[in-house]
Amino acid sequence: MTGCAAKGQASVHFDFASFAVWFLAFLFSTTCHEAAHAWAAYKGGDTTAYEGGQVTLDPLPHIRREPFGMLLAPLLSYYWWGWMMGWASAPYDPNWGRRHPRRWALMALAGPMANLALAVIAFVAIKVLLGMGIFQVPSHFDLFSNLVEPAGEVAARSPLRAISMLLSVMLSLNVMLTLFNLMPVLPLDGASVLQGLFPNSLGKLYDSMRGTPMIELLGLLIAWNLFPHLSRPAFQILLRLVYG
């Protein structure tokens, strides 16, 4: 399951170019997350997502499965609040998970690890471009969309400016998605990881609560409120790594 990304400041007007960068990063990151879940399940013996067409980096099967979470929710949240939220999911066979709890844990872990890999790629690209003098520390910092900016006098519509924004969003968004989805509360991936690793203790507790809408809604509310306490120190470390 994927989560959300916050820009941190309300939007006062609809900037199509900024929205396009955000949506591209969100769509690709979410697709990679769900495709990783589906691929890991397929390799572990569950063909449910494979038969549904989710073992792919083509976003269309994922959009067809969750059109509201993949299209409408990101558009509305960006328009109204200046940040993007949404979700997607890959189907799996819960009976397969109960028979093979370790494989289930790996399947659940695969999604956040895909986001972590994207974050590492964006981080390396930013560091290389900073080192080459192509990017510089921004004069107007934004944690999500302006971690770096093109060096020198660059026009607002320069491809370098779009690339700097895309890499900024990709890095911060995927760090956030990794951390948020690994929180050990239902219905997030972290709960499934623990359920698979400890099937005879935590696994039984999670299994008894899984699928109950009120419990899963409560879990999301708890995660949403606890997440800032996890993300603040994580992003402080990230910024130190980016700027050295």
pLDDT, tens only, 208-237: 999 899 999 999 999 999 999 999 999 999
At residue 80, the pLDDT reads 84
For residue 141, the model assigns a pLDDT of 86
Rounded Cα distance between 105 and 97, Å, is: 8
Structure confidence at residue 8 as a pLDDT band (50, 70, 90): very low
d(CA 187, CA 228): 18
CB 17 within 8 A of CB 28: no
Higher pLDDT, 92 or 2: 92
Q: Quickly state the pLDDT bin for 7 (edges 50, 70, 90).
A: very low
Does the bond joining 159 to the residue before it have cis omega, within 30 degrees of 0?
A: no
Residue 147 and residue 60: Cα distance in Å, rounded? 30
The per-residue pLDDT for range 125-153, each reduced to its tens digit, is 999 999 999 999 998 888 888 999 999 87
Q: State which amino acid sits at residue 138.
A: P
| DSSP label of 142 | B
Of all helices (H) and strands (E), which one includes residue 5? strand 4-5
Q: In this model, does residue 9 exceed pLDDT 50?
A: no
For the entire predicted model, the pTM comes to 0.92
pLDDT in tens, 79-109: 887 778 889 999 999 999 999 999 999 999 9
Which candidate, 235, 142, 160, 172, places its Cα nearest to that of 25? Answer: 172
> In which domain, by residue range, is 157 found?
4-243
Q: From the CB of residue 35, how many other CB atoms can be counted at a distance below 10 Å? A: 24
From the list 25, 181, 18, the residue with the least C-alpha distance to 110 is 181
Span 31-70, pLDDT tens digits: 999 999 999 999 999 999 999 999 999 999 999 999 999 9
Q: How does residue 156 score in pLDDT terms, banded at 50, 70 and 90?
A: low
Residue 10 has pLDDT above 60, yes or no: no
Mean pLDDT across the chain: 91
* Number of C-beta neighbours around residue 49 at 10 A: 26
Beta 84-85 vs 4-5: how paired, if at all? Answer: antiparallel
| pLDDT tens digit sequence for 174-187 | 999 999 999 999 99
Task: Give the chain's domain count.
Answer: 1
For 30-172, strand residue ranges (E) read: 84-85, 135-136, 149-150
